[in-house]
Amino acid sequence: MATAAKTTQFLYEDVKPNIGSRILNNKADLLAGTFASEIRERLEQRGILIFPQINFTNEEQVAFTETLGTFAPEGADGRNVSKITLDVKENPSAAEYLKGSLYWHIDGTRNDVPILASLLTCKVPSPKGTGNTGFCNTYAAYEALSDEDKARYESLNVLHAPWASLFYYEPEPSFAKLKMMQSIGEKELPLVWKHKSGRKSLVLGCTAHHVIGVDHAESARIIVGLREWATSEEFSYSHEWSVGDLVIWDNTGTMHRAEAYDPDCGRMMLRTKLEGEEPWA
């Protein structure tokens, strides 16, 4: 049987030259998976996609996620949608851990295969001027490096550990908390991820502890210098949330962070994820 031709057009507009596109198709087309392949391709090219005030229900967000790849349920109880908030009344088990999300990071740096993407829907925004989510395109940041810097960084590995992020928000943690965070694990990763597609991206963020085999002072200069480069205006975008917005970001080629907000303001996001498809390399 012949496949019916698509009768509608994939509609988008770019946000900035090096990052971000707004997807303008309607909810029915998105839930039907009509443009799933175009969305996947655009996501890899642009790092993040914004669906302004699409107003998915929880069930619709799960269904939309499933059109794009293998759905990744979260938590030991297999919950399909996770609450993302610093409000301990709403999310007592995760609010402490989520403090690290206020700093630039890539999810899953201790895993063999990091998640492909996260999808975040805004249910309750924080007051205007706070609680944005920042993104940066680590593909574009790598590609804009000089040939000399590319050659310098491509052979380097970095130890990534969730416990390294602890010191960003709690400079003097208790010994018990340090041991708890260290129990999560750590992993040595390439500073430059060579993807199956042939493209390359930088692997950075607040879990980066040190560059392997490099003097500690030089290691810090490399990590901080590249983070400053990758998160500069040229490669970054800060999304101001409205109720009903959904943003999806390519976890394999971006970093992200929540920007500061009052934990008691009621800010509430709902997250779904796509299983990873490519190991670090």
DSSP string across the chain: -PPPPP-S---EEEEETTEEEEE---HHHHHTTTTHHHHHHHHHHHSEEEETT----HHHHHHHHHHHS-B--BTTTTBSSEEE-S-TTT-TTTTTGGGGGGS-B-TTTTSSS--SEEEEEEEEPPSTTS--EEEEEHHHHHHTS-HHHHHHHTT-EEEE-HHHHHHHH-SS--HHHHHHHHTT--EEEESEEE-TTS-EEE--STTEEEETTS-HHHHHHHHHHHHHHHTSGGGEEEEPP-TT-EEEEETTTEEEEEPP--TTS--EEEEEEE---S---
Average pLDDT score over the chain: 93
Section 60-67 average pLDDT: 96
At CB < 8 A and 24+ separation, what contacts does 209-216 make?
209/158, 209/159, 209/160, 209/161, 209/164, 210/158, 210/159, 211/156, 211/157, 211/158, 212/156, 212/157, 212/158, 212/159, 212/188, 213/157, 214/156
Q: Is the pLDDT of residue 106 over 80?
A: yes
In a domain? residue 188: yes
Q: Which residue has better confidence, 78 or 43?
A: 43
Domain of residue 142: give its range. 12-274
In a domain? residue 6: no
The 10s digit of each residue's pLDDT in 1-32 is 334 445 589 999 999 999 999 999 999 999 99
Q: Which residues is 247 bridged to in the sheet?
A: 50, 120
Task: Specify the range with the lowest mean pLDDT, choosing from 51-60, 198-207, 260-269.
Answer: 260-269
Q: Give the rounded percent of residues in the chain with a pLDDT score beyond 70.
A: 93
Residue 93 — very low, low, confident or very high, per pLDDT cuts 50/70/90?
low
In a domain? residue 155: yes
In a domain? residue 280: no
CATH number of the domain residue 99 falls in: 3.60.130.10
**Per-residue model confidence (pLDDT) at position 5:** 46
In a domain? residue 279: no
In a domain? residue 221: yes
In a domain? residue 3: no
**Per-residue model confidence (pLDDT) at position 2:** 38
pTM to 2 decimal places: 0.92
Number of structural domains (the chain) is 1
Task: Specify the range with the lowest mean pLDDT, choosing from 16-20, 68-72, 82-86, 214-218.
Answer: 82-86
